[in-house]
Structure 1
């Protein structure tokens, strides 16, 4: 093997330990330790601690508070401690855990600090995605070439070593540095250098793999980054000798694992007990008749709250489905210059869907009013980017601008009302546009524009199979979701994760359009889905910040006007109850829930507009009847599934290989961002600085932060709201069917065997008994107790220091 090939292979091997990081404008939640999922969880967090310096378990203080609040069952804890050979009482053990907490890392070497400082300066300039007003020279040639061109002009870069005469090819630069070390050490050296700035490495990795417009215009690679880094390290004479790969077993970690398992088992037993008890009640139950409407929401944990309250307002049936509604598309909205992926990152887009105008008058009104709005936003952008202009503008505008600032700060609720009134003047895209769904026999880039007739039928049928639909009401509403916040760099983290951090409304519109197609419905009838003539499919979007559900019902026939009016009335009532619950969870007065959530949406100083998916801990795959009437406290993902309508297991296989994997990513990001926010999160929003429209710094520069901010997880700096638990998945299906599916997917066996999540099956064919997955496709019957506890304990845990 040539030296170049050996270096490339070493880079590929080393890169697996750093997870991809998406730009903050399209924030995608992902396991920050994804590169270690081939190892057992305990071993993975130990190795990550060595490379990244992050803690892998909640602190003793967190466990103590959870134990005090009843979130950890003492009987379960005693069992877990005994199994791990701990005999002292829990309080004494927690004292020991606190005493043996990891020592703080020492200060980094000044030479390495200098290298990091230089690299982050030029990486932020090169990777900028449209926010910088002065571009880095020669970006089109790629990062390494551009860096090579500016190196001699940067006074912070010593004119020494390899960097004094950088070769044209990055691999040659890497080779010059690595040849002083045995080839057996290359992977370890490169691994540690990639882990030195994991946020920047993760962003480079994602951008290179995505090959989107920014990468095609301004290319960067891990090879180019490593060449620059190693050359700089050589210039400052910093050692790159790899640390030992051996990881010493940490007894404190063993003890923390026992407490964590007990905490997770407490939650899991409650959830499984609820599902098993309701599973028994399904035997012999008769259909209750055609519901007034069926609403399909994203499986997102925030949907659990609004679904529960909608069901309480009338005869409504709700379902859960991944929020891209099964359509792997790249979407371009009306009047936008770029398209966005609207599907999970584990799925490649297959179609390009764009909005096209269908109403000239409404389009003209939209263009006129949106032009005024865009001009105002441009003024704000200029003010933010140019201090001299800002001072001149404020002086000219005088008291009017001051009043505007004061209103935004002091009465954001009123500002929300004003913006609502103004936005009514600007028609929404769905009022004059339709998604171009039908196949156009043209391409946008490498993707076909629209879907063929056969493809539309297949996606509609797949949706109904996954949902277990056997009956259709007069209104079937596909409800995507999006958030509403002001001055929030992390706004996309609150949008739909299944749509790659974008709003889910467009995906809902596409599926509704497909299902309203008469030709599609005829074919669906031949496949066993008899859709009544009076069934109309409607798209909608759930605002997760304010719990308003906006129905995109402009084309619904007059025959369904009364149905729509009643649904809107009931959605308003459900919103009032849901926002009251949501406001209380944020420490506000629930009696003014709607006003409080609207205030948070409009307040540009609000660091916590909503909780997002904080609290997520469970994933239930089964009929809604298994959890209907239960307050799951917005902590469970809910995916509809009926095993009896899925004889071949194809629908369940799609759920386990898709949504379950994505929810595990979400869960682990929330977990690690909570247990060590400084390493795996992004710290307080108060001290963050956005950089290049791709991420945030803490302070003035340095490492690109990789995870969620404190305010997405904590009620206060020392009191988390999110309980850091690994995901507990519960499937309602024959255990043999689940086993067969797992056997065909080694990647699922891997994350289960390595304890990245748990899986329990409630088997309706075996007297509704529950079976917990252990290892190597083996199951253990769960205790015969099926009665859930009176209430699932929630409430904040306590902060990890």
Structure 2
């Protein structure tokens, strides 16, 4: 007897419940699929992004293999790059052999160790299998036999159906680029996308029937399409015959097809609090269009399981290098043949590159260890006249070194936001900006207010805004745009000629004119807590307890809790460039892609408050009355240090300031000379200061500075560890004194904050170097700023997510940035590192899966220990250098 369950729900209620279930399942699929892409911030606040931040639960090698098979993206330096590094002496060949020996010991080999070692060694040092080896009729016959029954080496890879039809994937990409540009436009287009306020998918669904880029039949297929994105996405998957097991991978492949646009939608969704709705809309549109395009071709023929041309090189390598003859091959079982071919295939595509990368990294670490170990002996240090708090940015390292060599100066390194989780609002601005790392949520808002009457300043500002707004409106207006060239042409022509013929003079003249016209009045900062909240919902200012805790935490983290100098300079930093869409990438990444001066002013002001100093005494930190904190800004392009908001100074602080001002010019000259030596095309000027100044204002300059290119290591320890070491501007330097951190809390804070930001920066540069076509942004000379939020190549590319080629390479064929994963070095006893790995699962995962490398220095003995993960026993172990 059969039983039927009858629902007592009303039909409309049951429909709603079913729709919710569908939405929930689709959202779960999209959430899993979008781990493969990272959020992309707008170009105006370009933030170094870790492209694989949500894939760290997988080993680096597995992510590399997955992206290679699904998107043909290679995540390792090419052999051409490796050979150039080898020729320059940057890779020690003995380290390659050592890495191979260790790797073979960890593998389950398909043949005897000797044969496997012969094969791998040959594959390491050869570019390709010699072509004449592939012409053997006996070899081709064997390959044909094997191809009949062996599966493809990437048979499990799920790819969009459109990729199997000639150029259909390109057409689909162009359609998605068009719709994304329309929807995401940031008030740049004269005619906004209709129905945009209803959402991405609803707007597309209303407009698609009028799209002339689709044929009549294609529009007809989408005529009665579902009105909500979740149902449309599920419907598309069903029509395309994608089963549940492959759905997540199928959606992931579509997201990876245009990771830039998908990343921007992910960021927009997170900012708006909509979860992943924009990505659901994006995938619903993309798969709906895919079905409309591929429908006439369905069902497609079954793909070949094996390709003879891909088997031939693997067989030839085994026969000639591995010592397995054709007759021996025929005696192997099918499983043994498959194991041998898969072993050779993966080693050729992934493992050999990984071994070369590790050897390169090992060589760098070995030489860095030698450099630090051989630093000059530093005797009893004299009391510093001035202490500086610099950002950990690698560009600070040369400047700090020259500054310390010039006099009784002491420098400390910390994250450039100075531990302040704030949103900032400049004078009379309607815009607030999170001035802290992207991994930290702002907790307070700080705004500027004029000290005196600012009516004249506001009138000047309104005039400038009116003129600028009118000019933009006239450019977009159909009739006014015809008159505009006649009115503005002579003046803009003179401007163009001046900036092209005499860029340095014209650039500085315009900068000075702008400053003179603006004349921003002195301002106060809202440091103290206000009852009302800001428009962003955050409390304005800090309570006294919060002020004390923020200052205490930073000073404790860097180990500056006693022996304060009469003058302590808190240095934010920014870059100075012209005509550069990527200007914010050269500013402070810790401050959300803006200058660090605002945070420096806030922190210095907090340290000068009497109530804060009294609160610090209770925390065991005594700042003498004669010590004054002063905010400053380090301009990285020209290596200048500007003092901001100079407060009343004590007599000793005045003496220290006079001493500092007398040394800054020489420090600037030396720092500029060192930095310009690494820049190509530095011009005819013999004066490094003059040349650096020209590059900062020349609107044709594609490399005003190298930024953070070259970054390779992150050192957490006392300054005495690296003082007088020439680190080539490649090392993040974060001050830390383990003796003042018994609980390990300060080290935990550094690892969770600044060290994570450093890793993101490192992997941004790594990705832009090894895969510039996918994770970089191509040449600056052919870029187009689109929609006010991003950069494209031409007018129909993916939204470019990484750095321009000129930011990582000195020429078309010569890299400047060495693509190495970040080396983290911590000066602390062994049990500090063990505790950190035990208590911080995210950091443990990064080290375990190869997303960064970890070493430590024993403070008492100076022993350098490398931390590695034993996958067989599931635990970390150390190796001395």
TM-score, normalised via structure 1 length = 0.90
The CA distance in 1 between the partners of 2:72 and 2:775, in whole Å, is 10
| 1:87-130 C-alpha deviation (Å, 9 max, x unpaired) | 69999844426989x99x99974333222222211211211223
Contact 1:189/1:240 (CA < 8 Å) preserved in 2?
no
Of the candidates 545, 550, 555, which is equivalent to residue 464 of structure 1?
555
Structure 1 residue 628 corresponds to structure 2 residue 723: yes
The CA distance in 2 between the partners of 1:133 and 1:544, in whole Å, is 37
What does residue 210 of structure 1 align with?
Answer: 271
| 1:209-268 C-alpha deviation (Å, 9 max, x unpaired) | 1227xx89xx96111111111111111126799999x99624242111111111101111
What does residue 268 of structure 1 align with?
Answer: 365
Of the candidates 454, 458, 464, which is equivalent to residue 545 of structure 2?
454
Contact 1:365/1:427 (CA < 8 Å) preserved in 2?
no
Classify 1:391/1:623 alpha carbon distance in 2 versus 1 (closer, same or farther; 3 Å).
farther
Structure 1 residue 290 corresponds to structure 2 residue 389: no
Classify 1:380/1:467 alpha carbon distance in 2 versus 1 (closer, same or farther; 3 Å).
farther
Contact 1:45/1:56 (CA < 8 Å) preserved in 2?
yes
The CA distance in 1 between the partners of 2:183 and 2:229, in whole Å, is 17
What does residue 795 of structure 1 align with?
Answer: none
What does residue 516 of structure 2 align with?
Answer: 425
Query: In the TM superposition, what is the alpha-carbon distance from 1:554 to its structure 2 partner?
Result: 3.4
The CA distance in 1 between the partners of 2:76 and 2:450, in whole Å, is 52
Structure 1 residue 46 corresponds to structure 2 residue 46: no
| 1:317-376 C-alpha deviation (Å, 9 max, x unpaired) | 11110011000111111132211111111111111111111122xx34544554565566
Matches within 5 A, 1:597-608: 597-608=692-703
Classify 1:114/1:639 alpha carbon distance in 2 versus 1 (closer, same or farther; 3 Å).
same
Classify 1:295/1:686 alpha carbon distance in 2 versus 1 (closer, same or farther; 3 Å).
same
Contact 2:437/2:589 (CA < 8 Å) preserved in 1?
yes
Of the candidates 616, 619, 626, which is equivalent to residue 714 of structure 2?
619
What does residue 616 of structure 2 align with?
Answer: 524
Matches within 5 A, 1:351-390: 351-360=444-453, 363-364=454-455, 366-367=457-458, 369-371=460-462, 374=465, 377-378=468-469, 381=472
What does residue 865 of structure 2 align with?
Answer: 771
Listed as ranges, the gaps of 5+ residues in structure 1 are 784-801
Query: In the TM superposition, what is the alpha-carbon distance from 1:281 to its structure 2 partner?
Result: 5.6
Contact 2:570/2:600 (CA < 8 Å) preserved in 1?
yes
Of the candidates 616, 637, 640, which is equivalent to residue 545 of structure 1?
637
Query: In the TM superposition, what is the alpha-carbon distance from 1:623 to its structure 2 partner?
Result: 0.9
Matches within 5 A, 1:568-583: 568-583=661-676
The CA distance in 2 between the partners of 1:174 and 1:301, in whole Å, is 46
| 1:183-212 C-alpha deviation (Å, 9 max, x unpaired) | 122111111111111111111111111227
| 1:444-496 C-alpha deviation (Å, 9 max, x unpaired) | 23211111110000000001101101221111111111111111111111111
The CA distance in 2 between the partners of 1:90 and 1:422, in whole Å, is 64
> Which structure has the bigger radius of gyration?
2
Give the stretch that moved more between structures: 609-618 or 367-376. Answer: 367-376
The CA distance in 2 between the partners of 1:160 and 1:420, in whole Å, is 54
The CA distance in 2 between the partners of 1:486 and 1:749, in whole Å, is 42
Give the stretch that moved more between structures: 296-305 or 248-257. Answer: 248-257
- SS, match of residue 14 in structure 1: helix
Of the candidates 149, 154, 160, which is equivalent to residue 211 of structure 2?
154
Of the candidates 286, 290, 297, which is equivalent to residue 229 of structure 1?
286
What does residue 701 of structure 1 align with?
Answer: 796
Contact 1:542/1:548 (CA < 8 Å) preserved in 2?
yes
| 1:283-333 C-alpha deviation (Å, 9 max, x unpaired) | xx64x2321111111100011121111112211111110011000111111
Query: In the TM superposition, what is the alpha-carbon distance from 1:384 to its structure 2 partner?
Result: 7.1
- SS, match of residue 320 in structure 1: strand
What does residue 173 of structure 1 align with?
Answer: 232
- SS, match of residue 191 in structure 2: coil
What does residue 194 of structure 1 align with?
Answer: 255
Classify 1:275/1:381 alpha carbon distance in 2 versus 1 (closer, same or farther; 3 Å).
farther
Classify 1:375/1:526 alpha carbon distance in 2 versus 1 (closer, same or farther; 3 Å).
same
What does residue 348 of structure 1 align with?
Answer: 441
Query: In the TM superposition, what is the alpha-carbon distance from 1:3 to its structure 2 partner?
Result: 3.4
Query: In the TM superposition, what is the alpha-carbon distance from 1:690 to its structure 2 partner?
Result: 1.1
- SS, match of residue 75 in structure 2: coil
Contact 1:327/1:343 (CA < 8 Å) preserved in 2?
yes
Contact 2:419/2:550 (CA < 8 Å) preserved in 1?
yes
Contact 2:630/2:646 (CA < 8 Å) preserved in 1?
no
Contact 1:296/1:478 (CA < 8 Å) preserved in 2?
yes
Query: In the TM superposition, what is the alpha-carbon distance from 1:507 to its structure 2 partner?
Result: 0.8
Classify 1:398/1:9 alpha carbon distance in 2 versus 1 (closer, same or farther; 3 Å).
closer
Contact 1:120/1:703 (CA < 8 Å) preserved in 2?
yes
Aligned residues: 768
Structure 1 residue 646 corresponds to structure 2 residue 741: yes
| 1:555-608 C-alpha deviation (Å, 9 max, x unpaired) | 333744443343233222211111112222113268422222222221222211
Of the candidates 387, 403, 407, which is equivalent to residue 310 of structure 1?
403
What does residue 788 of structure 1 align with?
Answer: none
Give the stretch that moved more between structures: 374-383 or 401-410. Answer: 374-383
| 1:516-536 C-alpha deviation (Å, 9 max, x unpaired) | 110010111121111110111
Query: In the TM superposition, what is the alpha-carbon distance from 1:744 to its structure 2 partner?
Result: 1.2
What does residue 515 of structure 1 align with?
Answer: 607
Classify 1:7/1:273 alpha carbon distance in 2 versus 1 (closer, same or farther; 3 Å).
same
Higher relative contact order (CA 8 A, sep 6+): 1
What does residue 96 of structure 1 align with?
Answer: 127
- SS, match of residue 755 in structure 1: coil
What does residue 353 of structure 2 align with?
Answer: 256
Contact 2:419/2:554 (CA < 8 Å) preserved in 1?
yes
Listed as ranges, the gaps of 5+ residues in structure 2 are 1-17, 105-116, 132-152, 306-341
Contact 1:331/1:342 (CA < 8 Å) preserved in 2?
yes
The CA distance in 2 between the partners of 1:314 and 1:465, in whole Å, is 25
